Structure 1
Amino acid sequence: MIASDAEMEELDRERSLKQKKKQQEQELRETFMSRKVAPEAIDRINNAVRIAAQNGQHHLQVITFPSTFCSDGGRRINIADAEWPSTLTGFAKDAFDFYEKELRPLGYKLRAEIISFPGGMPGDVALSLTW
């Protein structure tokens, strides 16, 4: 009976951790989907680009997010499909729209790539400005 009680406690702990993780992921997703680019973003980006360029870099990673936040799970980004921007949702879409309106006319380019492959599947996406 003692072993059975210990097993039940362990199962309850695992169930609780799973539930907590699921809740955190849901909160992260909701925040990501409702977040917008801040009005002072252009100043912050210019400052970050200036520092990166002074250090001899030619790109700056500006946002990362789970590929599950893309409408296709990151597949188009993974295969470098020209239509990858159409799969962006939430904050990533808002950031892309900001890039199109404010940064592309200044000569910046935007690169998207899958930066992790947990279990062989697309994990996180990174959007980077290049110059």
Structure 2
Amino acid sequence: MPVSIDDLIPSAKQILKEAALKEAEQAEQYARLAAAAEAEKRALIERLSQPSGKSEAEKVQLASTVIQRAVRNGMTEVQVYRFPNSLCTDKGRAIIQQEKGWENTLTGIPREIFQLWTDYLKPRGYRISYQVIEYPGGVPGDIAVTISWG
């Protein structure tokens, strides 16, 4: 029994329909992944906007460890944290403009780091810098916190 040409070569209309279905499946999968990533990002930002839960002693010990490791590697500064600009009440505007009182725009862990510097590191001669380090699409993005001593 010979095989029909329709069995071997589907019509262009059938192929277009199958391609459209496949494209719709891929778009749906992409939308699910994007929604999951956005939910994960919101959860992370929510967690970072809250206090860390670490004791003062734990924070000081962590700062000491990071600084000593940097010194052993011959560095005079170290980036200690990076966070989304949404953890600033003004999305980082005051940091970019270097306005007086910019530190009052910080929330959560970035604020804790600044307080740790104020209480323990600044009196010992360390400097701190908060700087926008990323401009995705031309708008402010992530902010880096750097401690320096050189």
TM-score category (smaller protein): 0.7 to 0.9
Partner of 1:8: 24
Shift of residue 76, structure 1, vs aligned partner: 1.4
Percent of aligned pairs with the same amino acid = 29
Please name the residue that 1:116 is paired with.
Answer: 134
Larger Rg: 2
Q: 5+ residue gaps in structure 2?
A: 1-16
Q: How many residues align?
A: 131
Cα pair 1:37 1:94 within 8 Å, conserved: no
Q: Is the 8 A contact 1:111 1:129 kept in 2?
A: yes
Determine the C-alpha separation between the residues in 1 that align with 2:144 and 2:53: 16
Determine if the alignment matches structure 1 residue 72 to structure 2 residue 109.
Answer: no
Q: Which residue of 1 aligns with 2:12?
A: none
Partner of 1:84: 102
- Which residue identity is paired with 2:79? Q
Could you tell me how far apart the structure 1 residues matched to 2:73 and 2:21 are? Answer: 59
Counterpart CA distance in 2 for 1:10 and 1:54 is 49
CA drift of 1:7 comes to: 2.4
Moved more, 73-82 or 19-28: 73-82
Residue 13 (structure 2) aligns with: none
1:22 aligned partner: 38
Tell me if structure 2 keeps the 8 A contact 1:67–1:125: yes
CA distance in 1, matches of 2:19, 2:115: 57
Q: 2:52 is paired with a residue of what secondary structure?
A: coil
In 2, Cα distance between the equivalents of 1:84 and 1:46? 25
Residue 139 of structure 2 corresponds to residue 127 of structure 1: no
Match of 2:9 in 1: none
What amino acid maps onto 2:98 in structure 1?
A
Q: Any gaps of 5 or more consecutive residues in structure 1?
A: none
The whole-number CA distance in structure 2 between the counterparts of 1:48 and 1:129 is 10
CA contact (8 A) 1:71 1:89 kept: yes
User: TM-score, normalised to structure 2's length?
Assistant: 0.77
Q: Distance in 2 between matches of 1:64 and 1:91?
A: 10
CA drift of 1:57 comes to: 2.2
